[in-house]
Amino acid sequence: MEAIVNQLPIGLSIAAVLLLIALGLTFTFGQMGVINMAHGEFIMAGAYTAYLLQGWAGRQAVLVALPVAFVVAGVMGLILERVAIRHFYGRPLDTLLLTWGVSLVLQQLARDLFGAPNVQVRAPEWLQGGVGILPYNRLFIFALAVGSVVAIWGYMNRTSQGRRMQAVMQNRQLAAVSGINTGRVDQRTFFIGSGLAGIAGVALTLIGPVGPALGTYYIVDAFLVVVAGGLGQLRGALIAAAALGLLNSYAEFWTNASLAKVIVFVVIIAFLQIRPQGLFVLKARALT
- Residues forming the site for other proteins (CB under 8 A): 29, 33, 35, 84, 87-88, 90-94, 96-98, 100-105, 107-108, 111-112, 171-172, 174, 216, 220-221, 223-224, 226-227, 231, 256-262, 264-265, 268-269, 272-273, 276, 282-288
CB of 288 to other proteins, least distance (A): 5
Minimum Å gap between C-beta 89 and other proteins is 8
Nearest CA-CA partner of 75 in 230, 187, 202, 216? 187
Least distance (Å) from other proteins to the CB of residue 75? 19
Any bridge partners for residue 210, and if so which?
119
Which one, 3 or 259, has the nearer CB to other proteins? 259
Shorter beta-carbon distance to other proteins: residue 93 or 146: 93
Report residue 77: phi and psi, to 5°.
Answer: -65, -40
Nearer Cβ to other proteins (90/147): 90
Q: Are 68 and 53 in contact (CB under 8 A)?
A: yes
- Cβ nearer to other proteins, comparing 122 with 261: 261
Q: How far is the CB of 165 from other proteins (least distance, A)?
A: 16
- Residue 28 and residue 189: Cα distance in Å, rounded? 7
Residue with Cβ nearer other proteins (219 or 239): 219
CB of 6 to other proteins, least distance (A): 22
Dist. CA 153–CA 85, nearest whole Å: 25
Supply the minimum distance, in Å, between the C-beta of residue 212 and other proteins: 10
Burial tier of 253 (Cβ tally within 10 Å: 0-12, 13-18, 19+) = middle
Q: At closest approach, how far in Å is the CB of 205 from other proteins?
A: 23
**Looking at beta carbons only, is 46 or 221 nearer to other proteins?**
221
- Using the minimum distance from each CB to other proteins, give the nearer residue, 40 or 135: 40
Residue number, 99 or 194, with CB nearest to other proteins: 99
- How buried is residue 199: exposed, middle or buried, by Cβ count under 10 Å (0-12/13-18/19+)? buried
CB of 108 to other proteins, least distance (A): 4
